[in-house]
Amino acid sequence: MGMNEVQHGSADARSEVAVAYLALADGELGHAARHLGSAFAAEPELPEAHQALAELAAAAGGALAALEWFPTDEAYSGIVGCMAHLYAAAGFWDAAVDRLGAVIGAEPERGWAQVAWLARPDLAGLVSPEAVGRAVAAVTGGLPEGPAPAGLREAVGPFRALVAAVLERHPEHTALLTLASVLARRLGEPEAAVRWAEQALAVCQAEIAQDPSDLDRYVDVAEVYQRTGRPAEGLPWLDRVLDIDPAHPTAGPAVHALRHAAEGGGTEHLLALSDHLREYPDHGYAGHLLAELCDGVPWLGHVHPASEASLGVLHRILADPAAAPGSGIELVGSHLEPPSTVLAVRMGLPRSGIAYKCVPLPDPRLPQHEVGTRLWEFDGPAARPALDPPSRPAAELVRQVASVGWDAPGAAYDHAVRLSGLSLGDLLAVCVHPPLPRDSAQGAYLLGRQPELWVRAVQTFACLGIAHHHADEPWRASRRRAVLTDLLFGPEDWVNEAAGFALLATAWADPAAREEVGALLTDRMTAVGLAWQERDATILASLCRLVLGCPWVERGVREVAARMLAAVTRYET
């Protein structure tokens, strides 16, 4: 999920600083560090927070020693911001810029770049262009595609000034020139974007003129074109490489990435990248590109978000600082929602209940086809798990394996192989009895702010575990196929989506399963789409994206999926 943190105002930041000072007075440096992380997350520019951080460093015996008190597994913005400032105080400039870039990218509209050390006139000579390049990549990842608004440009301004200063010292660093061109384009500086892109191309082409046999330089030229918005112009350079070396470890993957960009997205070339990686597992660049292109895309890079009305109420209560821990709510919904919604509400607010006034038609409690696997029993609109809880070891293993995000569908499929030894009974039971999130900063965020994402992650990886059940059985006759199909066509629920993703990931990993998986997902999407014409069907957008993840499906079907997705998205917003 990245560095998520609920935003607070100055009063919250100052109160966190005050508590940090009390902890410092008692010698509790770890306690002070956690509260300073919260203070910086609330207001990165607060002078009192910076002063308190300096006093923590002094109490710890120096900035480097103070770093030990900040938990590295808690990647929320305040902690990472504190680490950036401490590295700067210790003179570790690469690490400082690296981490500052991460928090700017996570929250570019905020004042992370408004810090004195970033404006040092000699900083450009103290930091490496490689570290600045990593920071630029992180920052651009958090910026909108179009020209940024004035306020955002002002917030990022000091960082952009450092990039320009470093390029003056390293005018032939093609990677940084390329990344800087992207940064300038997103900040609404077309002249600088073109200048740096042309400068990068000139450097690459000069190197090719000196040594035409260096095929990697041809790839560099192609990627400059791709990153600066002209992917079609880069393809001929890759074709020249592949004519010479058809198995080139970077040109082969890069051609799929450039075609993806040149054709405006879709999943055809992402699947080709995944297939390339399966054929050449030592071509790590293919995995890097695939992860970059899947990042932030529902189902390709993370669980699909949920949109049920009761979740909106849940989020408002969880975000209210006045809400008592462990408080509960009694919701009354106008229409039945997927049963798993109740799991999420009760995970976030354990003493809660949801009642629904009516069951709309077509009845979402009825499976689309006859199924042999049941997860839910219904008493009118009220649903309850049809299975007993899973064994404690099974629940704990799923808890450790489940994740909200992944690099690509194939990566999620491979990661879930750790669950292949669990019984089908346990994997099914965990879908309706999800364990709590892991004890970590991200786990605390999910439990305290978006528990539905964790429930969906558990269900997703439980279904991926089912996809590995008795993997030696031929797919068409396998128990894993039969169970996932049952879950896909069962009563409308988030488990339909999780099973659909497990089928999709299986098809990405196994070309022999693609035709059938595409047909199954299309069948389910079509049925739910017809129901959506009569009533709400909150799983439809997710099913549409699953079908769009099947580029082998007929173009007409994918066009229908895209139109339905657009219609549902307009309706939900």
Do 259 and 341 fall within a single domain?
A: no
Please provide the average confidence, as pLDDT, over all residues in the chain: 94
Q: What's the confidence (pLDDT) of residue 1?
A: 36
Do 365 and 492 fall within a single domain?
A: yes
Is 195 domain-assigned?
no
Do 397 and 518 fall within a single domain?
A: yes
Instruction: Take residue 300 and report the two structure tokens written for it.
Output: 């390709």
What long-range pairs does 5-9 form, CB within 8 A, spacing at least 24?
5/41, 5/76, 5/77, 5/78, 5/445, 6/319, 6/449, 7/41, 7/42, 8/41, 8/42, 8/43, 8/321, 9/42, 9/43
Is 423 domain-assigned?
yes
Is 261 domain-assigned?
yes
pLDDT digits (tens, 9 = 90+) for 292-329: 999 999 999 999 999 999 999 999 998 886 666 567 78
Residue 441 has pLDDT above 80, yes or no: no
Do 473 and 337 fall within a single domain?
A: yes
Do 335 and 234 fall within a single domain?
A: no
SS3 for 339-360 is CHHHHHHHHHCCCCEEEEEECC
Cis peptide before 362 (omega within 30 of 0): yes
Average pLDDT over residues 148-167: 95
Do 75 and 218 fall within a single domain?
A: no
Residue 5 has pLDDT above 60, yes or no: no
- The range of the structural domain enclosing residue 281 comes to 211-294
Do 282 and 315 fall within a single domain?
A: no
Is 327 domain-assigned?
yes
Residue 137 has pLDDT above 80, yes or no: yes
Q: Give the distance, in angstroms, between the CA of residue 267 and the centroid of all CA atoms in the same chain.
A: 17
Do 283 and 417 fall within a single domain?
A: no
Do 363 and 234 fall within a single domain?
A: no
Instruction: Take residue 280 and report the two structure tokens written for it.
Output: 């050449």
pLDDT digits (tens, 9 = 90+) for 105-114: 999 999 999 9
Q: What's the confidence (pLDDT) of residue 139?
A: 96
Q: What's the confidence (pLDDT) of residue 171?
A: 95
Q: What's the confidence (pLDDT) of residue 6?
A: 38
pLDDT digits (tens, 9 = 90+) for 495-510: 999 999 999 999 999 9
Do 421 and 496 fall within a single domain?
A: yes
Is 196 domain-assigned?
no
Residue 555 has pLDDT above 50, yes or no: yes
From 261, 294, 327, the end of a domain falls on 294
Is 203 domain-assigned?
no
Question: Nearest-CA neighbor of 388 among 353, 340, 435, 430?
Answer: 430
Residue 75 has pLDDT above 90, yes or no: no
Residue 3 has pLDDT above 60, yes or no: no
From 72, 90, 108, the end of a domain falls on 90
Question: Nearest-CA neighbor of 24 among 10, 11, 12, 39?
Answer: 39
From 238, 266, 294, the end of a domain falls on 294
Average pLDDT over residues 198-207: 94
pLDDT above 90: percentage of residues in the chain: 89
Do 114 and 245 fall within a single domain?
A: no
Which pLDDT band, with edges at 50, 70 and 90, does 9 fall under? Answer: very low
On whether the CB atoms of residues 208 and 202 are closer than 8 A, the answer is no
Is 541 domain-assigned?
yes
What is the number of domains present in the chain? 4
Q: What's the confidence (pLDDT) of residue 73?
A: 65
Evaluate the CA torsion angle 430, 434, 437, 438 in order and state its sign. negative
Cα maximum dimension of the chain: 77
Is 559 domain-assigned?
yes
Do 179 and 327 fall within a single domain?
A: no
